[in-house]
Amino acid sequence: MLLHFYKMNGAGNDFVVVDNRDLSLSLTKDQIEHLCDRHRGVGADGLLAVEPAEDGADFKFRYYNADGGEAEMCGNGARCFGRFTAALMDDTPDRVTFETIAGELAAELVEDDVRIAMSEPKDLKLDTGVHIPGLEGTLRFINTGVPHVVVFVADLPGTEVVRHGAAIRYNKGFAPAGTNANFATVLAPGHIAIRSYERGVEDETLACGTGMVASALMHHLLDGAPSPIKVDVKGGDTLEIGFEKTGESTFTNVTLTGPADFVFEGDIEI
């Protein structure tokens, strides 16, 4: 079968995008993994599929990690999804809504950037009690659409992200679903830098949207940094996390603002 696809990236987090509004595609786990393979396929951190909405939103968002497994959400993917679906609509609106496993989200086009209204974070743990050999720092947890551990470290460039990230991701304390892992450092009040190990990619990525949100909220909880918080990612971009605090450890109106770019489109035999 010849598959038409688009390639997009959000702050270096890259995706294969397919238009499946007619539900004619039924990609297998192996096919998705092949498409995301950087040597034998298109190459991507994950695949986005546009499908028809079921409950009143404009579209349905389906996201698959590079290993072919479906995930609840992806912040950078959601921004790319918003940019892509807005272009599908007749009048190219400033706002698009879409259904995800994590709930209904909205994407707003803000000049060259896209702002995503994220789902409300949950399951906060300021100390998980998990310890990783060779890694100093408290492992904190929050679900920002998908599960995330955040560790603040003194030497971010020198942190062994893949080794420690894999150890966290597969630690029995986060079984059976596992977790993403983020390593962060404070550059200035309200400005942090992070590196992320993503579950499903099983490697460090250039950016992780839900990981940025998790790390920014932890910075607020630990240091009192006000909204918005700037986050530098390995891909070189700086994104912005907005939020409102509604309780001692609860948040609402969480947003993620940053780039979402078309790279190319093409056809591939699958």
Please say whether the beta carbons of 36 and 29 come within 8 A: no
Is residue 182 annotated as involved in ligand binding? no
Is residue 76 annotated as involved in ligand binding? yes
> Which candidate in 8, 32, 42, 74 is catalytic?
74
Is residue 265 annotated as involved in ligand binding? no
| Active-site annotation holds for 80 | no
Is residue 210 annotated as involved in ligand binding? yes
Is residue 209 annotated as involved in ligand binding? yes
Is residue 65 annotated as involved in ligand binding? yes
Cα 104-106-108 angle, rounded to 5 deg: 175
| Active-site annotation holds for 208 | yes
Report which of 219, 217, 215, 222 is spatially closest to residue 246, judged by C-alpha positions: 217
CA distance 94 to 267: 29
> Which candidate in 42, 109, 207, 208 is catalytic?
208
CA distance 129 to 44: 34
Which token pair is 200? Answer: 């499903």
Cα 116-240-106 angle, rounded to 5 deg: 5
CA distance 46 to 33: 9
Is residue 111 annotated as involved in ligand binding? no
Residues annotated as catalytic are 74, 208
Question: Which residue positions form the known binding site for substrate?
Answer: 13, 65, 75-76, 180, 198-199, 209-210
Question: Which residue positions form the known binding site?
Answer: 13, 65, 75-76, 180, 198-199, 209-210
